[in-house]
Amino acid sequence: MPGPIQSPKILLVAPTSNSLLQREGRSTVAPHYGLNLIRAALQNSEVDATILDEFSIQNNPIYEDTNSWEKALTTALSTYPSLRVIGFTVLTNFRKEVANLSRLTREIRSDLTIVWGGPHVTALGPKLMERYQDLCDLMVSGPTDNQIIKYLKELVKTNHKEPTPLFLRGDLNKDIAHFIHPNYSSLQNLHHRIPRLIIRTSSGCPTPTCTFCSAMFEGPYSPKSINQASLQIRDALTVNPVRLEFHDQDFFYNLNNFRSLVSGTTFEGVETVYCHSGIESLTHEHIQIIEKTKPKWEVFVGLESASERIYRALCKQRIGPQSLDRFIEHSSQVNNQKIRFGIFVLLGVPGEQEEDYKITEGYLHRLENVDLHIGLMKVFPGTILERQLIKKGNLDPELWLDENGPQVVSAVNGDAFVKASEQWQHLLDAFPSSREHNKIDQELFHLNFFEPENCGR
């Protein structure tokens, strides 16, 4: 990796857990997309920033033999005395790690302005600032816009330890993701190829009424212009990644955009392309376009449930039997050496019954050459599902404010949780090859969450 920026003013940190940092196979981690996007915007404003994520810990020589986030942060703070601001991206399941690293920052560099942002901050809003104002000087909610970049620049310039206001909310219409993309050029001098690189050619989600995920924070689906998206792809290819990943909510949603982007890209040097598709978006035309490209493709398809009743409860729309039948046709006819499908199934949806489980399992048995990814439905703060459970009195909203609270919460409890857990294990037994694809969820299931008593009060 190229030598670190000698005098960065801002350190951007994306903590996970020490167990994930130490896990086998972490050589496949990708540079953090969001932090590289923010760094690009800061660089455009002539503010030097550096990143501390799993990728940098693995590849930056200053973190050699580092096996904990505490050690990595201590190293960064001592290596960069020029720092004025440290920003943490907060995910709900890693909020405890962020709190602990913020305490460590206070101990080592009490002069630094500590900023929190990310999905957890966006979901909880100012009440999170009220709880953690001893650990955080400023919280940033929603998308990063130019005003937030300007504010960070002023913090660096004035070195003002007590910023006002204490809570900033980004403007969705001015999200920097609409105008720029991550600058990965600093990765060109690595001594090895980058295993994975993430790009996005759109923001938002085509299904904004989905009760499960928090893509609603990004607003309505908005594709980048073909010129912008093509430039992002070309810039990504200059650093020679082994695997290129399109993390759009549904890369196949707009066939014309897909055709223009994929047909106009050589994918030189890329061995594998990974992307997401809604099951109703995938068409024969998409497959024909893919088959003309050089790399192998992994297409991750969101099914959630083959039960019409449950799918509508999740997404507020019909899945349609023709979409299900069409995917069976695709999976049986494609060259699986060229295109490999994976399909995502959710269990434990509120209201799910034995008949719904049977419908989904029956459908899975009809598929050929498809990797199965199984998840138990979880509740995330800020989602439609969370609001539904709070309204029914099944979830305490204060749960998310406690840094020692459960990492992830199941969407159901009691008998429904037991049944979903049994069905989860049953599918793993019925489809043995799926165990490897569900390794992380298996670890979480056995170690640290899905406890029924954590699902409500």
Rounded Cα–Cα distance for residues 66 and 117 (Å): 25
Q: How deeply is 269 buried, as exposed, middle or buried, from its count of CB atoms within 10 A (0-12, 13-18, 19+)?
A: middle
Tell me the DSSP string of 297-342. EEEEEEEE-S-HHHHHHHHSS---HHHHHHHHHHHHHS-TTTEEEE
Rounded Cα–Cα distance for residues 154 and 156 (Å): 5
pTM of the predicted model as reported, rounded to 2 decimal places: 0.91
Q: Token match 């996007």: residue?
A: 37
Tokens representing 271 are 């061995």
Rounded Cα–Cα distance for residues 277 and 18 (Å): 32
Do 300 and 276 touch, CB atoms closer than 8 A? yes
Do 203 and 218 touch, CB atoms closer than 8 A? yes
| Residue ranges per structural domain of the chain | 10-176, 197-454
DSSP three-state, residue 359: helix
Closest CA to 26 of 64, 59, 69, 60: 59
Q: What is the CA radius of gyration of the chain?
A: 22
Phi, psi of 389 (to 5 degrees): -70, -35
Tell me the DSSP string of 77-129. HHH-TT--EEEEE--GGGHHHHHHHHHHHHHH-TTSEEEEESHHHHHHTHHHH
Rounded Cα–Cα distance for residues 345 and 347 (Å): 7
Do the two domains 10-176 and 197-454 of this chain adopt the same fold? Answer: no
Quick one: pLDDT at residue 143?
A: 85
Rounded Cα–Cα distance for residues 420 and 349 (Å): 8
Query: Which tens digit of pLDDT belongs to each residue from 66-89?
Result: 889 999 999 999 999 999 999 999
Query: Which tens digit of pLDDT belongs to each residue from 44-68?
Result: 999 999 999 999 998 888 998 888 9
Tokens representing 30 are 């990708």
Rounded Cα–Cα distance for residues 55 and 52 (Å): 8
Query: 245 pairs with which residues across the strands?
Result: 198, 274
Q: Is the dihedral of CA 423, 428, 434, 435 positive or negative?
A: positive
Tokens representing 13 are 């940190």
Homologous superfamily of domain range 197-454: tm_1862 like domain (3.80.30.20)
What contacts 411, CB < 8 A, 6 or more positions away?
348, 349, 350, 376, 377, 378, 379, 385, 389, 455
DSSP 187: G
Rounded Cα–Cα distance for residues 223 and 201 (Å): 6
Mean pLDDT by 10 residues, the chain (457 residues): 67 90 71 94 94 92 91 96 96 94 97 93 91 93 89 83 77 83 81 90 81 63 90 92 93 94 93 92 93 94 88 76 87 87 90 94 90 86 86 85 85 85 87 67 48 42
Quick one: pLDDT at residue 234?
A: 92
Is the CATH number of domain 10-176 3.40.50.280? yes
Query: 52 pairs with which residues across the strands?
Result: 13
Phi, psi of 303 (to 5 degrees): -100, -45
Q: How, if at all, do strands 10-13 and 49-52 pair? A: parallel
